Amino acid sequence: MYGPINPKAPFIWHGGDYNPEQWPPEVWVEDVRLMQEAHYNVPTVGVFSWVSLQPDEHTWDFEWLDRVLEMLHASGRYFVLATPTAAQPAWMSQRYPDVLRADNTGRRHHHGRRVNYCPNSPNYRRFIREVASRLAQRYGGHPGLLAWHVSNEYGGTCMCEVCAEAFRAWLRRRYGSLEEVNRSWWTRFWGHTYTDWSQITPPYANGENLTHGLTIDYKRFQSEAMLECFKIERDAIREHSPDVPVTTNLMGTYPLLDYREWAKEMDVVSWDCYPWPTADPGDIAFLHDLNRGLKDGRPFILMEQTPSSQNWQPVNQLKRPGVLRLWSYLAVAHGAETVMYFQWRRGRGGCEKFHGAVVEHHGRTDARVFREVSELGAELERLGDATIGAATPARVAVMFDWNNWWAIDDAVGPVREKRYVETVRQHYRAIWRKNVPVDVVFSDSDLSRYDLVIAPMLYMVKPGVAERIEGFVRGGGVFVATQFSGVADEHDLAFEGYPGPLRRVLGIWVEEIDALYEGQVNHIVMADGTGTYECGRMCDIVRTETARVVATYGEDFYAGTPVVTENRFGEGRAYYIASHPEDRFLDEFYGLLLLEQGVQPVMETPAGVEAALREKDGARLVFLLNHNPEEVTVRLPEGEAFLELLSGEELRGEIVMAAYDVRILRADA
Amino acid sequence: MYGPINPKAPFIWHGGDYNPEQWPPEVWVEDVRLMQEAHYNVPTVGVFSWVSLQPDEHTWDFEWLDRVLEMLHASGRYFVLATPTAAQPAWMSQRYPDVLRADNTGRRHHHGRRVNYCPNSPNYRRFIREVASRLAQRYGGHPGLLAWHVSNEYGGTCMCEVCAEAFRAWLRRRYGSLEEVNRSWWTRFWGHTYTDWSQITPPYANGENLTHGLTIDYKRFQSEAMLECFKIERDAIREHSPDVPVTTNLMGTYPLLDYREWAKEMDVVSWDCYPWPTADPGDIAFLHDLNRGLKDGRPFILMEQTPSSQNWQPVNQLKRPGVLRLWSYLAVAHGAETVMYFQWRRGRGGCEKFHGAVVEHHGRTDARVFREVSELGAELERLGDATIGAATPARVAVMFDWNNWWAIDDAVGPVREKRYVETVRQHYRAIWRKNVPVDVVFSDSDLSRYDLVIAPMLYMVKPGVAERIEGFVRGGGVFVATQFSGVADEHDLAFEGYPGPLRRVLGIWVEEIDALYEGQVNHIVMADGTGTYECGRMCDIVRTETARVVATYGEDFYAGTPVVTENRFGEGRAYYIASHPEDRFLDEFYGLLLLEQGVQPVMETPAGVEAALREKDGARLVFLLNHNPEEVTVRLPEGEAFLELLSGEELRGEIVMAAYDVRILRADA
Amino acid sequence: MYGPINPKAPFIWHGGDYNPEQWPPEVWVEDVRLMQEAHYNVPTVGVFSWVSLQPDEHTWDFEWLDRVLEMLHASGRYFVLATPTAAQPAWMSQRYPDVLRADNTGRRHHHGRRVNYCPNSPNYRRFIREVASRLAQRYGGHPGLLAWHVSNEYGGTCMCEVCAEAFRAWLRRRYGSLEEVNRSWWTRFWGHTYTDWSQITPPYANGENLTHGLTIDYKRFQSEAMLECFKIERDAIREHSPDVPVTTNLMGTYPLLDYREWAKEMDVVSWDCYPWPTADPGDIAFLHDLNRGLKDGRPFILMEQTPSSQNWQPVNQLKRPGVLRLWSYLAVAHGAETVMYFQWRRGRGGCEKFHGAVVEHHGRTDARVFREVSELGAELERLGDATIGAATPARVAVMFDWNNWWAIDDAVGPVREKRYVETVRQHYRAIWRKNVPVDVVFSDSDLSRYDLVIAPMLYMVKPGVAERIEGFVRGGGVFVATQFSGVADEHDLAFEGYPGPLRRVLGIWVEEIDALYEGQVNHIVMADGTGTYECGRMCDIVRTETARVVATYGEDFYAGTPVVTENRFGEGRAYYIASHPEDRFLDEFYGLLLLEQGVQPVMETPAGVEAALREKDGARLVFLLNHNPEEVTVRLPEGEAFLELLSGEELRGEIVMAAYDVRILRADA
């Protein structure tokens, strides 16, 4: 159980991006009228409005924003207030060119687009501090204000000279001596030893980009530098608005920022959810669970989603009727406290003018999308605080780690496409398909609360991680590792033998790694004769030490050698899956493990119907989500009755769910 | 009926690019002898000869050209004279680096290749004025001179600082105030408001390239800047050579130049026709009709085609025997007054040494290509002025517009690949396949002379266009619009509701736009039960106002909603086709419309045999073109007799046409 | 018969890259112990060790290398000593930026990666001379030293200003006058005539890159400039170490360096063999034969191969058990005097940490790879000098030429993908499949020793080559040319008629060249009715003069015209194959030619079993190589007995070869 994000508004926020500065005031009046109709009760204001607030270095204009916020509030709305710092004004780039980012050859960008600032630029940092401070001073106490939305979708990389210099300072702090840098980066390779700090550069595309200690440290440094920008704004805000939570909108498994580190600095996690129309709902669920995991289970803000379509994909298909509602509840089922959109009203110009919006260019309210949004808004309003602050009682965890991802992607060999994220998702989905709640955890997470921890492709094992895993297993947990694990330390230096520090808990060592061509397969042959499954891509050739062989390879010169092993360790067990398996293997493998660990599904459902669980005030909230494009019948547990929260009806026995329909069943303990 | 391009030469010019400056004078003598044999009576001289004419800034050498032109003329030949300005000499780039173009990051090119000049460079403009002036002064009154060919295949883009500054000046003239720029470009989006003119830059690849008002204006500006270069030369020429028509060779649907605006400045349109060997002849016909349309129906110069093969395609297949003749008459059938080639003689070096030529490296006249060219030359000579100045009496028009293309390609969403040109060509071919003459028209064309006007994907509706279309329909015309029309104004600002200003004439509005994946289809189900057709890619979801539903979607959540509509408006009708249809639909749809409008085919022919029409002196000239690689029998209209102009025979009843054969039938009114 | 590479070590060297500088001294002790076990008797030391030897401009440290070499030698090992110049230290790039390479736009790289030096940089040249000289001075007389390995895998291109200036000087020397440059480069095309030397630039990607005389000359210049670097080091070494052979490791058909010219400066050829795991063994054999051919038949050093897998391919599959041994003997069968590896021990960091190594990260000797290497080492040791210095008695030659390759790749048309190397390999493999020894020869090679010379796609015919071919045929040789031959001279200027100077010996001329689309085919129809074969890609349309028609095209407008011709010329014959044929044609065509020329296979073997031949001391050494992944039975020639060198057994009749197995049969004459 958690408190609401802001005690002023203990309900599901329904709203999102609103850019009144793009429109004349007469449209604002219409906006408020339509928001009323759409139950759009928490608009996000201010994103990208910098030049409207600060038309030149020494001029400020808050009047328009005063009026907008007043109108919103007067009409009964709350709002999220954004700082505008995701795109600096043209005058700033012009007068202070160091605010502009440089590309991966060190060449400065021209002004334009967005997120085009150097995160280490002293001028940029000075300006963001000032604008954040002024906004907080002026609006920090506004009764309508629910949260601060700092900047927007941080990302990218800068390789300018300011960054280069800051990087060298960062390295001095991190390593203390140049000798330690050389040692950690294995620079004797190709004679790359640095003999002076000044020789170190960013990993330019046309320079040094194959020293992996350098490349991963530069990613860490840039992630931290951008986080520093966030912190500058956050701290400026807190000074004047200490009681309002501060966040920034994340982007799922965005590759370049270590969100786990970011979350530690955020009061509440928020994120923008843009799955492809053809996405597996399990992959969307994974992202929600990941965001919930960033703060160890705390519910989060769904800051953006499209009401209808995206615009930047090759093909931007409309969400079919009902899918917006379904995916909104999917978010809530996995921890969202809000249902918010990009965007309220489509701009007439700009490169997002074909991005879905609540109010489309025609501006009509008798349109499908506006109606769906409005009906959802009304329904959410009726739901009140029923789901607010609910927890997710997961006993299974899947581990994800940005540093690990970076190192895997840098690794040259054994195959070019390592597919770390896809692999994590594959394991996640195998559990998710069983209607078993999963937490996404990180390499620094506390594992003690779980029965099963899965760490797919844990290539990089940072200090303390193996110890934590050993402790978890010793205490009775079941741990699953896969191919290409325990390969390198936090500097991406290979261990002298894989799986490195995981060797003891897994009871194996890896002699070689074979790589299979696309379309080429080997097989997992269960030692007990229960089945044979395809595997491929990478095949670790494994030798057991204390482990026993659960399955062997079916083909090739390593036929008959271990492909799945089990090691009893303390009170628990640790498994190694040495090759990339087909889904069917994971279904059966995890089915057995969950049975043995006594982990039950939330509910048994037909294919394509998800049952997700949250708990609040001792009651179980079961979200039934029909991901199928057709009607389905679900049989509720024998003899149990549930209060369905959306309809207020009591349900039992067989229920019929329409295509994409949702039920929220409450069962009190 | 039009006058000949040059009254001195009222016959089909047969000739083309000739580069004597690449060869020693003894070869010139051989050239003239071979031209005689090949009936190559109008060579084009001077293209790319700048350094030969002006070996340094203050030295001029016209002697070689005097001799060449004299030899040509003395042997009974005319010539087209080119200015050499498509590639500046190395000394010029070296001494005046501002003549060099900059790439899309603002970085200056090195000297080399061709069309590598900055169109706004004051030095470049000074030099082209001088060379054009000197040439005109010296040769403007030459009795052999038929036309001026200014520069060569203008194109590309420059983003240097000179261009940037000129662009800002251009914007000041166009918009008057910075406020108007900001308003027209919707710069409040992402806070991109300019607060000083100097902040505006070209749409650099590493800068501001997502403000679509900027990107389309920069294209307009560059097209105009290059046109300005043309005009500088044209005016310099006219001063000394006022009676000789001036042209430059266009390149079909070349994306970067608005040829409609260019044609207004050209005395006669000329173009270079390089279809792929596997091209649909309907697509070639479209390009000829487009070039004829550039000057509202005036015949044009076919300036270049290959006698055998190109060299820059991935696979450069030879034109099969007969195809050169067939495609030459295809050009004439659609308005060409010339049959000209690139190139007379293959150079021994240079990157075009494997491009087809009349005289190949072996220099022999007993070779297939030389023989085909010579025989065609003789045949054209016999044809005399029979086709010269003939008009094309089209009652159907297909609209094409460069600004529209640019805006469509810039649009982010609903699908990435919009395929504007392909869509225009698809509609064109549907009419062409019926042997019905088509004019290609532009958004500023007079529509009153047509019975049917088709405007595929008219995304951008510029001021006055909707009014012109309304007038046309009100007066009894039939208008056809398609998916993704009426979306944006001339600044690429979305209308507040599509199809914007076309809403009244079409009697519908578009609620949403769905996008289909490659391979995914919906269906057009005719309301009267006459058929069902595939459609896809984009599906506008349409609501009718005054229109009636002609066909509905067959599937998906918008099944049963309109996909084809008809709106009676004044004396005419306006149709909307809301999704991309298969060809079969267009065949039947247009078949019916043409029938209703009383538009007859030129002649009924078997598949693959085209019947095209020109009219001269009250006579009809029917071009029968057998595009099939095999013999075909064509039945001429019952009871009619025709004079076949190539053979001089009278034809009636059934005629047999060999593979790729051509007949030109004259029927006097 | 040749002498051993170094008389000190007349046996097959087994060893390769060893980088002790990456490890602490305690690991060196372990290394020596393991080398002993692995029979790793010739490690290569010093590659990339520059910063370890010269930590700053004025500091030298040889002590560690003294120790390493002493340890190796003391344990009974020899060594190859490398100069470290393939990657300059960071301090050098920092202090002397001109040592850095510039990219193909003239922009200087940042420091990093490897082979990032400008080959014309005076500072780079000064530094490499010094380090090579110091090494030679110190170790030139070391009793363990077998060979000098200069730098590493030269390659790439630099387009900096220093190179540009050096290029202009190179051109002055080559052409004498600017007029001659203009003439040779056909610069009148597009008006590219240079009027001052200073106007000539490297062929920048954003400048002049379509003047093919320039592009090929720049490749020649860069190849020579890099060769000059090699020579600087070689000469510095020879001064102090005159008796030790000097080499550098080549890379097969590396495109950018003319290895034929390089080989002339090297004492012995060495190369790095990295085939893809799925490579056709015939293609590997081709590369070995090419390296042997570089010095007209002299055996060579196999400097690098992977013991298990590469790491930089998309999929880096392990060599299956036995393949390392098989491919090692494949090398020896084709002229290798060594079996050497990259790398001894995997580094813990660096971008090659997943490249196969003898000692893997786990460091164990009970691993498959270590065992295979050790067993192979022991076996090679037993083989002693049995193969050392043996010659390859080839009567068939296939011609390869780097200048020709460059010109073909530059050619724009008739098809983009010319596939020169693939075509050479296709012809080579047709002979190789018959167990007939082949020499790879070059355009300057002596042809008189052969019965059959095949010159696939000899597009560029340099001065003297046609004369040499004529002499060869006149004297009774059989010469085979193919499509796209005799097209251009050494400046890439087209001959006035193809096949240019080969016209007389071939007795044909080429009228046109047709190009076929991927998947489109024509047919080779044998005039004597013996068969029909597919052909395609390019189809020369041929006219015979003195030649007779062997086969005609089956389809298209040139059906019935010659596709294969034979010309009797002096005592010999010359064939022209005018289109790219399928393998089956070459098998039968060459089968007949070899029969007629009396060229016998080394031995008849089942499919996939290669029989290769070397000769030593009058004895024939027949290498039987089973490339099949399964067991095969080979029948030895009736009545003959062989001494099998690996087992010491006498063999006759049927022998069974395991998958990937090898036999070396000695038959004394």
CB contact set of C586 (below 8 Å; sequence gap of 6+)? C426, C427, C430
Interchain contact, C315 vs A195, CB within 8 Å: no
Per the CB < 8 A criterion, the answer to whether A472 and A479 are in contact is yes
Which residues have C-beta within 8 Å of that of residue A177, sequence separation ≥ 6? none
| Chain C residue whose CA is closest to A537 | C315
The pLDDT value given to residue A235: 98
> Sign of torsion, CA B396 B402 B405 B407?
negative
Residues with pLDDT less than 50, chain C: none
Judged by a CB distance cut-off of 8 A, whether residue C24 touches chain A is no
Interface test with B, best of C183, C188, C218, C483 (most B CBs within 10 A): C188
Which residue in chain C has the smallest CA separation from B368? C511
Q: Return the percent helix, strand and coil in chain C, to nearest 5.
A: 35, 25, 45
Shortest Cα–Cα distance, A471 to chain B (Å): 49
| Helix H or strand E encompassing C322 | none
Interface membership of C492 toward B (CB under 8 Å): yes
For the whole model, what pTM was predicted?
0.97
How confident is the model over A408-423, as a mean pLDDT? Answer: 97
- C153 counts as catalytic: yes
Q: Calculate mean pLDDT across residues B540-554.
A: 98
Instruction: Please give the Cα distance from B340 to A31 (Å, whole number).
Output: 62
pLDDT of B137 over the 70 cut:
yes
CA neighbours within 13 Å on the CB side: how many for A624?
Answer: 28
Of C201, C191, C198, C265, nearest to C228 by C-alpha is: C265
User: How much of chain B, in percent, has pLDDT values that exceed 70?
Assistant: 100
What pLDDT, on a 0 to 100 scale, did the predictor assign at position C132? 98
CATH T-level topology, domain B396-597: Rossmann fold (3.40.50)
* Residue B153 known to be catalytic: yes
Q: In the prediction, which pLDDT does A669 show?
A: 66
Amino acid type, A614: R
CATH fold of B609-668: Immunoglobulin-like (2.60.40)
Residues 111-150 of C with CB under 8 A from A: 111-114
Which tens digit of pLDDT belongs to each residue from C586-633? 999 999 999 999 999 999 999 999 999 999 999 999 999 999 999 999
The closest of C561, C601, C399, C596 to C480, measured between CA atoms, is C399
C52 touches chain A (CB under 8 A): yes
The 8-class DSSP code of residue A256 comes to: T
In this predicted model, what pLDDT tens digit does every residue of B287-305 receive, in sequence order?
999 999 999 999 999 999 9
Q: Are strands C396-399 and C438-441 parallel, antiparallel or unpaired?
A: parallel
What are the tens digits of pLDDT across the range A360-386?
Answer: 999 999 999 999 999 999 999 999 999
User: How much is the pLDDT for C1?
Assistant: 84
At C668 the pLDDT is: 84
State how far the Cα of C202 lies from the Cα of C263, in Å rounded to an integer. 26
Chain A interface includes C19 (CB < 8 A): yes
Question: Is A278's Cβ below 8 Å from some Cβ in B?
Answer: yes
B493/A contact by beta carbon, under 8 A = yes
Catalytic residue, from B21, B224, B304, B379: name it. B304
Alpha-carbon distance of A248 to A263, in angstroms, equals: 9
Q: Which amino acid is at B551?
A: A
| A89-122 tens-digit pLDDT | 999 999 999 999 999 999 999 999 999 999 999 9
What's the rounded mean pLDDT across residues A277-292? 97
Contacts of A111 in chain B (CB under 8 A): 199, 201, 207-208
Closest listed residue to residue C150, CA positions, set C71, C290, C50: C50
Q: Enter the ipTM.
A: 0.96
The DSSP code for B371 is H
Of A185, A496, A516, the CB nearest to C363: A496
Q: What is the pLDDT of residues A346-362, one digit of tens each?
A: 999 999 999 999 999 99
Tell me what pLDDT residue B26 has.
Answer: 96
Least CB-CB distance to C511: which of B48, B351, B367? Answer: B367
Chains that touch B (3 or more CB pairs under 8 A): A, C
Which residues of B are known binding-site members for substrate? 114, 152, 312
Kindly list the residues from chain A whose CB atom is less than 8 angstroms away from the CB atom of residue B206.
Answer: 103, 107, 109-110
The answer to whether B174 and B200 have CB atoms below 8 angstroms apart is no
DSSP H stretches of helix in C317-434: 323-333, 368-383, 402-410, 420-432
The order of strands in the sheet holding B642-644 is B609-616, B619-626, B662-668, B642-644, B650-651
Q: pLDDT tens across A288-338, in order? A: 999 999 999 999 999 999 999 999 999 999 999 999 999 999 999 999 999
- Measured between CA atoms, the residue of chain B closest to residue C510 is B362
Q: What is the pLDDT of residues B580-607, one digit of tens each?
A: 999 999 999 999 999 999 999 999 999 9
Phi, psi of A482 (to 5 degrees): -130, -175
Contact assessment for residue A10 and residue A336, using Cβ atoms and an 8 Å cutoff: no
Q: How far is CA A668 from the centre of its chain?
A: 31
- What part of C 530-589 touches A (C-beta under 8 Å)? none
CB contact under 8 A, C111 and A208: yes
Does residue B468 have a pLDDT over 90? yes
Size of interface A-B (CB pairs under 8 A): 174
Fill in the DSSP letter of residue B59. B
Residues of B in contact with C203 (CB under 8 A): 112
| CATH class for the region spanning B78-256 | alpha beta
Q: Write the single-letter amino acid at B582.
A: E
Report pLDDT for B668. Answer: 84
Distances (CA, A) of A560 to A218, A511, C27: 43, 15, 34
Q: What is the mean pLDDT of residues A385-413?
A: 98
Contact A191 C49 (CB under 8 A): yes
Q: Chain C: nearest CA to A190, how far in angstroms?
A: 5
Q: Do B510 and A315 count as a contact with CB atoms less than 8 A apart?
A: no
pLDDT band, residue B669 (cuts 50/70/90): low
**Residue ranges of domains in chain B:** 78-256, 396-597, 609-668
In angstroms, rounded to a whole number, what is the distance separating the alpha carbons of residues A48 and A152? 8
Q: How confident is the model at residue C669, as a pLDDT?
A: 66
Among candidates B88, B90, B368 on the partner chain, residue whose Cβ is nearest the Cβ of C194: B90
Express each pLDDT in B321-365 by its tens digit: 999 999 999 999 999 999 999 999 999 999 999 999 999 999 999
Residue A479 CA to residue C578 CA, distance in Å, equals 66
User: What is the torsional sign of CA B37, B38, B43, B47?
Assistant: negative
